[in-house]
Amino acid sequence: MAFDLLSFVADFTSFYALYLAISLSLNLEFGYAGIPNFGKALFIAGGAAFAGSITGRIAAWALGVSKGDFITNNFAIMGQVNQLLLGDPLLMVALVVIGLAVAALIGGVFGYIMSYPAIHLREDYLGLLLLGMAQFFQIFLNTYTPLVGATQSILTPNPFYYFSTLNVNDLVDVMFAFAMGAFALLVWVYVEKTVRSPLGRVLRAVRDNDDASSALGKDTVKMRRNALIVASAIGGMAGAMYTFQVAFVGASTWTRFAWTFWPFLIVIIGGVANNKGVALGAFFFVLILKGLEQVQPYITPYVFNTNVNFIQDLLFSVLLLMILYLRPEGILREKSTETLARTELDKITGSKGNAMSAPGPGNESETRNDG
Protein backbone atom coordinates (compact mmCIF):
# COMPACT_ATOMS: atom_id res chain seq x y z
CA MET A 1 0.00 0.00 0.00
CA ALA A 2 1.75 3.07 -1.22
CA PHE A 3 1.48 6.20 0.81
CA ASP A 4 -0.70 8.67 -1.06
CA LEU A 5 0.40 12.10 0.08
CA LEU A 6 -2.30 14.13 -1.63
CA SER A 7 -5.06 11.92 -0.34
CA PHE A 8 -3.57 12.06 3.15
CA VAL A 9 -3.31 15.83 3.12
CA ALA A 10 -6.85 16.23 1.81
CA ASP A 11 -8.24 13.81 4.35
CA PHE A 12 -6.25 15.51 7.07
CA THR A 13 -7.50 18.93 6.07
CA SER A 14 -11.17 18.05 5.92
CA PHE A 15 -11.01 16.25 9.24
CA TYR A 16 -9.07 19.09 10.79
CA ALA A 17 -11.56 21.64 9.50
CA LEU A 18 -14.52 19.64 10.78
CA TYR A 19 -13.09 19.32 14.25
CA LEU A 20 -11.88 22.88 14.25
CA ALA A 21 -15.43 24.08 13.62
CA ILE A 22 -16.90 21.86 16.33
CA SER A 23 -14.23 22.74 18.85
CA LEU A 24 -14.63 26.44 18.15
CA SER A 25 -18.34 26.21 18.87
CA LEU A 26 -17.57 24.27 22.03
CA ASN A 27 -15.04 26.91 22.98
CA LEU A 28 -17.70 29.56 22.53
CA GLU A 29 -20.06 27.91 25.00
CA PHE A 30 -17.55 26.23 27.31
CA GLY A 31 -14.57 28.53 27.15
CA TYR A 32 -16.25 31.89 26.84
CA ALA A 33 -19.72 31.37 28.28
CA GLY A 34 -18.76 28.78 30.89
CA ILE A 35 -21.38 26.13 30.03
CA PRO A 36 -19.74 22.69 30.20
CA ASN A 37 -21.65 21.05 27.39
CA PHE A 38 -21.14 17.34 27.94
CA GLY A 39 -23.90 16.67 25.46
CA LYS A 40 -22.21 18.14 22.40
CA ALA A 41 -22.91 14.92 20.52
CA LEU A 42 -26.64 15.52 20.99
CA PHE A 43 -26.65 18.75 19.00
CA ILE A 44 -24.31 17.51 16.29
CA ALA A 45 -26.23 14.28 15.86
CA GLY A 46 -29.53 16.15 15.87
CA GLY A 47 -28.41 18.45 13.08
CA ALA A 48 -26.93 15.61 11.06
CA ALA A 49 -29.88 13.26 11.41
CA PHE A 50 -32.58 15.77 10.54
CA ALA A 51 -30.58 17.36 7.72
CA GLY A 52 -29.79 13.99 6.16
CA SER A 53 -33.28 12.64 6.48
CA ILE A 54 -35.14 15.74 5.33
CA THR A 55 -32.94 16.58 2.32
CA GLY A 56 -33.19 12.99 1.13
CA ARG A 57 -36.97 13.13 1.29
CA ILE A 58 -37.13 16.52 -0.39
CA ALA A 59 -34.86 15.32 -3.20
CA ALA A 60 -36.91 12.20 -3.77
CA TRP A 61 -40.11 14.26 -3.82
CA ALA A 62 -38.74 17.01 -6.08
CA LEU A 63 -37.35 14.53 -8.60
CA GLY A 64 -40.45 12.40 -8.52
CA VAL A 65 -38.66 9.26 -7.46
CA SER A 66 -41.17 6.94 -5.89
CA LYS A 67 -40.16 3.42 -5.07
CA GLY A 68 -42.21 2.79 -2.00
CA ASP A 69 -41.22 3.54 1.55
CA PHE A 70 -38.35 6.00 1.90
CA ILE A 71 -36.63 4.06 4.64
CA THR A 72 -37.04 0.47 3.54
CA ASN A 73 -36.11 1.15 -0.07
CA ASN A 74 -33.65 3.85 0.82
CA PHE A 75 -30.69 2.51 -1.12
CA ALA A 76 -32.63 2.16 -4.34
CA ILE A 77 -34.30 5.56 -3.98
CA MET A 78 -31.15 7.45 -3.12
CA GLY A 79 -29.19 5.69 -5.85
CA GLN A 80 -31.65 6.98 -8.41
CA VAL A 81 -31.82 10.40 -6.75
CA ASN A 82 -28.06 10.81 -6.92
CA GLN A 83 -28.06 9.84 -10.59
CA LEU A 84 -30.80 12.37 -11.35
CA LEU A 85 -29.09 15.05 -9.29
CA LEU A 86 -26.13 14.91 -11.66
CA GLY A 87 -28.27 16.73 -14.19
CA ASP A 88 -29.62 19.21 -11.70
CA PRO A 89 -26.76 20.99 -9.89
CA LEU A 90 -29.03 23.83 -8.85
CA LEU A 91 -31.26 21.52 -6.87
CA MET A 92 -28.18 19.96 -5.31
CA VAL A 93 -26.95 23.32 -4.10
CA ALA A 94 -30.42 24.10 -2.81
CA LEU A 95 -30.48 20.80 -0.94
CA VAL A 96 -27.17 21.51 0.73
CA VAL A 97 -28.39 24.96 1.77
CA ILE A 98 -31.65 23.51 3.07
CA GLY A 99 -29.74 20.79 4.89
CA LEU A 100 -27.49 23.29 6.62
CA ALA A 101 -30.44 25.51 7.50
CA VAL A 102 -32.38 22.59 8.94
CA ALA A 103 -29.34 21.47 10.91
CA ALA A 104 -28.79 24.94 12.30
CA LEU A 105 -32.46 25.18 13.20
CA ILE A 106 -32.51 21.80 14.91
CA GLY A 107 -29.28 22.54 16.75
CA GLY A 108 -30.68 25.87 17.85
CA VAL A 109 -33.99 24.39 18.97
CA PHE A 110 -32.23 21.66 20.93
CA GLY A 111 -29.99 24.33 22.39
CA TYR A 112 -33.00 26.39 23.39
CA ILE A 113 -34.67 23.40 25.03
CA MET A 114 -31.51 22.42 26.88
CA SER A 115 -30.84 25.99 27.94
CA TYR A 116 -33.66 25.75 30.47
CA PRO A 117 -31.84 23.22 32.64
CA ALA A 118 -28.49 24.71 31.64
CA ILE A 119 -29.35 27.98 33.29
CA HIS A 120 -31.02 26.59 36.34
CA LEU A 121 -28.70 23.75 37.26
CA ARG A 122 -25.26 23.59 38.74
CA GLU A 123 -22.41 22.44 36.52
CA ASP A 124 -22.27 18.88 37.83
CA TYR A 125 -25.98 18.16 37.52
CA LEU A 126 -26.03 19.77 34.12
CA GLY A 127 -23.16 17.57 32.99
CA LEU A 128 -25.05 14.45 34.06
CA LEU A 129 -28.21 15.58 32.32
CA LEU A 130 -26.57 16.58 29.04
CA LEU A 131 -24.47 13.45 28.87
CA GLY A 132 -27.54 11.36 29.54
CA MET A 133 -29.51 13.26 26.89
CA ALA A 134 -26.85 12.70 24.25
CA GLN A 135 -26.65 9.04 25.13
CA PHE A 136 -30.42 8.75 24.96
CA PHE A 137 -30.57 10.50 21.62
CA GLN A 138 -28.13 8.02 20.16
CA ILE A 139 -30.20 5.13 21.40
CA PHE A 140 -33.28 6.88 20.06
CA LEU A 141 -31.73 7.19 16.60
CA ASN A 142 -30.71 3.58 16.81
CA THR A 143 -34.25 2.39 17.39
CA TYR A 144 -36.58 4.93 15.77
CA THR A 145 -36.94 3.88 12.16
CA PRO A 146 -38.66 6.84 10.41
CA LEU A 147 -35.83 9.29 10.99
CA VAL A 148 -32.60 7.64 9.93
CA GLY A 149 -33.69 4.07 9.55
CA ALA A 150 -32.54 2.91 12.99
CA THR A 151 -29.67 0.45 12.76
CA GLN A 152 -29.62 0.24 8.97
CA SER A 153 -28.68 3.92 8.33
CA ILE A 154 -29.84 5.86 5.31
CA LEU A 155 -28.09 7.44 2.37
CA THR A 156 -28.34 11.17 1.84
CA PRO A 157 -27.97 13.21 -1.34
CA ASN A 158 -24.30 13.20 -2.22
CA PRO A 159 -23.07 16.66 -3.28
CA PHE A 160 -19.74 15.21 -4.34
CA TYR A 161 -21.12 12.49 -6.55
CA TYR A 162 -20.40 14.56 -9.65
CA PHE A 163 -16.70 14.70 -8.80
CA SER A 164 -16.43 10.99 -8.24
CA THR A 165 -17.86 10.36 -11.70
CA LEU A 166 -14.97 12.30 -13.24
CA ASN A 167 -12.50 9.56 -12.35
CA VAL A 168 -9.73 11.94 -11.35
CA ASN A 169 -7.51 10.59 -8.60
CA ASP A 170 -8.19 12.09 -5.15
CA LEU A 171 -10.42 14.80 -6.62
CA VAL A 172 -13.26 13.99 -4.25
CA ASP A 173 -10.99 14.14 -1.22
CA VAL A 174 -9.65 17.51 -2.31
CA MET A 175 -13.16 18.87 -2.83
CA PHE A 176 -14.14 17.67 0.66
CA ALA A 177 -11.14 19.46 2.04
CA PHE A 178 -12.12 22.70 0.32
CA ALA A 179 -15.74 22.52 1.43
CA MET A 180 -14.87 21.72 5.03
CA GLY A 181 -12.11 24.30 5.04
CA ALA A 182 -14.50 27.00 3.85
CA PHE A 183 -17.02 26.03 6.52
CA ALA A 184 -14.41 26.06 9.27
CA LEU A 185 -13.12 29.40 8.08
CA LEU A 186 -16.60 30.91 8.30
CA VAL A 187 -17.05 29.51 11.79
CA TRP A 188 -13.63 30.83 12.77
CA VAL A 189 -14.40 34.32 11.53
CA TYR A 190 -17.78 34.31 13.23
CA VAL A 191 -16.58 33.03 16.60
CA GLU A 192 -13.53 35.26 16.59
CA LYS A 193 -15.63 38.32 15.73
CA THR A 194 -18.10 37.43 18.46
CA VAL A 195 -15.64 36.93 21.25
CA ARG A 196 -13.75 40.09 20.36
CA SER A 197 -16.88 42.18 20.33
CA PRO A 198 -18.38 43.78 23.43
CA LEU A 199 -20.71 40.77 23.47
CA GLY A 200 -17.74 38.44 23.91
CA ARG A 201 -16.52 40.49 26.84
CA VAL A 202 -19.95 40.34 28.43
CA LEU A 203 -19.97 36.55 28.01
CA ARG A 204 -16.67 36.27 29.82
CA ALA A 205 -17.84 38.65 32.49
CA VAL A 206 -20.92 36.50 33.06
CA ARG A 207 -18.75 33.39 33.20
CA ASP A 208 -16.35 34.87 35.71
CA ASN A 209 -18.76 36.64 37.96
CA ASP A 210 -22.43 36.12 37.53
CA ASP A 211 -23.55 38.46 40.26
CA ALA A 212 -21.29 41.34 39.35
CA SER A 213 -22.38 41.33 35.73
CA SER A 214 -26.07 41.16 36.57
CA ALA A 215 -25.54 43.99 39.02
CA LEU A 216 -24.15 45.97 36.11
CA GLY A 217 -27.35 45.39 34.20
CA LYS A 218 -26.42 42.47 31.97
CA ASP A 219 -29.05 39.81 31.43
CA THR A 220 -26.94 36.79 32.40
CA VAL A 221 -29.66 34.24 31.70
CA LYS A 222 -30.16 35.55 28.20
CA MET A 223 -26.42 35.66 27.56
CA ARG A 224 -25.94 32.02 28.51
CA ARG A 225 -28.99 30.90 26.60
CA ASN A 226 -27.92 32.65 23.42
CA ALA A 227 -24.39 31.28 23.65
CA LEU A 228 -25.74 27.76 23.97
CA ILE A 229 -28.18 28.21 21.09
CA VAL A 230 -25.58 29.65 18.73
CA ALA A 231 -22.94 27.08 19.61
CA SER A 232 -25.45 24.28 19.21
CA ALA A 233 -26.56 25.60 15.84
CA ILE A 234 -22.94 25.61 14.67
CA GLY A 235 -22.57 22.09 16.03
CA GLY A 236 -25.65 20.99 14.11
CA MET A 237 -24.30 22.51 10.91
CA ALA A 238 -20.99 20.74 11.42
CA GLY A 239 -22.92 17.51 11.78
CA ALA A 240 -24.74 18.22 8.53
CA MET A 241 -21.45 18.99 6.76
CA TYR A 242 -20.08 15.67 7.90
CA THR A 243 -23.24 13.92 6.76
CA PHE A 244 -22.96 15.45 3.29
CA GLN A 245 -19.33 14.44 3.14
CA VAL A 246 -19.89 10.78 3.89
CA ALA A 247 -23.31 10.87 2.18
CA PHE A 248 -25.05 8.69 4.69
CA VAL A 249 -26.33 9.10 8.20
CA GLY A 250 -26.83 6.45 10.83
CA ALA A 251 -27.04 6.16 14.56
CA SER A 252 -23.80 4.42 15.39
CA THR A 253 -21.68 7.38 14.27
CA TRP A 254 -22.70 9.70 17.05
CA THR A 255 -20.84 8.38 20.04
CA ARG A 256 -20.06 10.61 22.96
CA PHE A 257 -16.41 9.71 22.48
CA ALA A 258 -16.00 11.11 19.01
CA TRP A 259 -18.36 14.06 19.24
CA THR A 260 -18.17 15.16 22.86
CA PHE A 261 -14.89 13.95 24.23
CA TRP A 262 -12.70 14.77 21.26
CA PRO A 263 -13.83 18.40 21.04
CA PHE A 264 -13.29 18.75 24.78
CA LEU A 265 -9.85 17.22 24.40
CA ILE A 266 -9.02 19.69 21.64
CA VAL A 267 -10.17 22.66 23.68
CA ILE A 268 -8.27 21.45 26.73
CA ILE A 269 -5.07 20.76 24.78
CA GLY A 270 -5.15 24.04 22.95
CA GLY A 271 -6.28 26.33 25.69
CA VAL A 272 -9.68 27.15 27.07
CA ALA A 273 -11.12 30.41 25.77
CA ASN A 274 -8.37 30.89 23.25
CA ASN A 275 -9.33 30.30 19.63
CA LYS A 276 -5.76 30.19 18.36
CA GLY A 277 -5.04 27.61 21.01
CA VAL A 278 -8.02 25.59 19.83
CA ALA A 279 -6.74 25.72 16.27
CA LEU A 280 -3.38 24.47 17.49
CA GLY A 281 -4.96 21.81 19.69
CA ALA A 282 -7.08 20.55 16.82
CA PHE A 283 -3.96 20.32 14.69
CA PHE A 284 -2.09 18.18 17.22
CA PHE A 285 -5.15 16.08 17.83
CA VAL A 286 -5.73 15.30 14.15
CA LEU A 287 -2.02 14.72 13.69
CA ILE A 288 -2.06 12.02 16.36
CA LEU A 289 -5.31 10.55 15.11
CA LYS A 290 -4.39 10.35 11.45
CA GLY A 291 -0.79 9.49 12.22
CA LEU A 292 -1.90 6.48 14.22
CA GLU A 293 -4.09 5.37 11.35
CA GLN A 294 -1.05 5.47 9.09
CA VAL A 295 1.18 3.43 11.37
CA GLN A 296 -1.60 1.04 12.33
CA PRO A 297 -0.24 -1.95 10.36
CA TYR A 298 3.02 -1.74 12.28
CA ILE A 299 1.49 -1.63 15.75
CA THR A 300 -1.59 -3.77 15.97
CA PRO A 301 0.03 -7.18 15.42
CA TYR A 302 1.77 -6.63 18.73
CA VAL A 303 -1.46 -5.73 20.55
CA PHE A 304 -3.64 -8.78 19.86
CA ASN A 305 -4.59 -7.50 16.40
CA THR A 306 -6.84 -5.01 18.08
CA ASN A 307 -8.54 -2.15 16.34
CA VAL A 308 -6.39 0.97 16.29
CA ASN A 309 -9.34 2.94 17.69
CA PHE A 310 -8.84 1.37 21.08
CA ILE A 311 -5.20 2.36 21.16
CA GLN A 312 -6.32 5.87 20.19
CA ASP A 313 -8.82 5.94 23.04
CA LEU A 314 -6.20 4.92 25.54
CA LEU A 315 -3.67 7.38 24.20
CA PHE A 316 -6.09 10.30 24.21
CA SER A 317 -7.19 9.47 27.72
CA VAL A 318 -3.61 9.57 28.95
CA LEU A 319 -2.94 12.73 26.96
CA LEU A 320 -5.93 14.50 28.48
CA LEU A 321 -4.94 13.57 32.00
CA MET A 322 -1.37 14.68 31.37
CA ILE A 323 -2.55 18.05 30.09
CA LEU A 324 -4.93 18.52 33.00
CA TYR A 325 -2.16 17.57 35.37
CA LEU A 326 0.80 19.41 33.90
CA ARG A 327 -0.67 22.37 32.10
CA PRO A 328 -4.34 22.85 32.92
CA GLU A 329 -4.55 26.08 30.98
CA GLY A 330 -3.57 24.37 27.71
CA ILE A 331 -0.88 25.27 25.22
CA LEU A 332 -2.00 28.86 24.86
CA ARG A 333 -3.46 30.72 27.81
CA GLU A 334 -6.54 32.81 27.69
CA LYS A 335 -5.58 36.37 26.90
CA SER A 336 -6.91 39.15 28.98
CA THR A 337 -8.86 41.75 27.11
CA GLU A 338 -6.56 44.51 26.05
CA THR A 339 -7.75 48.00 26.65
CA LEU A 340 -7.27 50.49 23.91
CA ALA A 341 -3.98 52.32 23.70
CA ARG A 342 -3.86 55.73 25.31
CA THR A 343 -3.51 57.48 21.97
CA GLU A 344 -6.55 55.65 20.63
CA LEU A 345 -8.58 56.65 23.64
CA ASP A 346 -7.52 60.23 23.19
CA LYS A 347 -8.59 60.09 19.60
CA ILE A 348 -12.01 58.77 20.54
CA THR A 349 -12.66 61.18 23.34
CA GLY A 350 -11.17 64.01 21.37
CA SER A 351 -9.15 65.27 24.28
CA LYS A 352 -5.42 65.44 24.59
CA GLY A 353 -3.66 63.95 27.55
CA ASN A 354 -6.46 63.72 30.03
CA ALA A 355 -8.54 60.69 29.10
CA MET A 356 -9.20 59.42 32.59
CA SER A 357 -12.94 59.72 32.22
CA ALA A 358 -13.04 57.54 29.10
CA PRO A 359 -15.08 54.45 29.94
CA GLY A 360 -13.65 51.10 28.96
CA PRO A 361 -15.46 49.41 26.12
CA GLY A 362 -18.27 47.16 27.28
CA ASN A 363 -18.22 45.57 30.63
CA GLU A 364 -14.85 45.45 32.33
CA SER A 365 -15.80 43.59 35.44
CA GLU A 366 -14.02 40.44 34.35
CA THR A 367 -11.04 39.15 36.18
CA ARG A 368 -8.46 36.73 34.92
CA ASN A 369 -9.14 33.34 36.18
CA ASP A 370 -6.42 30.85 35.57
CA GLY A 371 -5.97 29.49 39.03
Partner 1 sequence: MAMGLTLTYMTTKVPNFAYGDMVLLGVYSSYATVKIYHSNPYVGSVIGLFIAGLVSVAVYLIVLRPLARRGASIVSLMIATFGVDIGFAGIFGIYTDYLSNTYVFNDPKAFYTLGPDFSVAGYPGIDVAAPLAVAAVVLIVYLLLTRTKFGVTMRASIENPPLARVLGINVDLVYTVSWFLAGGLAGFAGAFLTLDLPFLGVNTGNDLIVGIFAASVLGGLTSIFGSAVGGIVIGGSEIVMTIWLGSGFGYGGAVLIAAFFLLSGVYMVRRKTYQSKAVGAILSILGVWVIADIAAGLPVDFLAGELVYGFGSAIINPFQVGIPLVIMAVTLLVVPQGIFSVNFRRLLGREK
Binding residues (CB under 8 A) for partner 1: these are 36, 38, 116-117, 120-121, 123-125, 127-129, 131-133, 135-136, 139-140, 142-146, 150, 256-257, 260-261, 264-265, 268, 303-307, 309-318, 320-321, 324-325, 328, 371
Q: How far is the CB of 318 from partner 1 (least distance, A)?
A: 7
Helix 220-246 and helix 40-62: axis angle, to 10°?
Answer: 50
Nearest to 316 by CA among 304, 328, 306, 308: 308
- Indicate the residue among 88 and 208 with the shorter CB distance to partner 1: 208
**CB of 298: closest distance to partner 1 in angstroms?**
17
Q: How far is the CB of 100 from partner 1 (least distance, A)?
A: 26
Cβ atoms of 203 and 86 within 8 Å: the answer is: no
Instruction: Give the nearest distance from C-beta 141 to partner 1 in angstroms.
Output: 9
In the bound state with partner 1, the residue whose beta carbon lies nearer, of 163 and 284, is 284
Minimum CB distance to partner 1 smaller for 32 or for 261: 261
Instruction: Compute the half-sphere exposure of residue 233: CA atoms within 13 Å on the CB side of its CA.
Output: 16
Cα–Cα distance for residue pair 204/220, rounded to 1 Å: 11
CB of 276 to partner 1, least distance (A): 21
Q: Which is nearer to partner 1, 89 or 117 (CB)?
A: 117
The burial class, CB within 10 Å (0-12 / 13-18 / 19+), for 359 is exposed
- HSE at residue 144, side-chain half, CA atoms within 13 A, is 12
31 C-beta neighbours (distance < 10 Å), count: 28
297-315 core/surface letters (b: 16 or more CB in 10 A; e: else): eeeeeeeeeeebeeebeee
Q: Which is nearer to partner 1, 164 or 214 (CB)?
A: 214
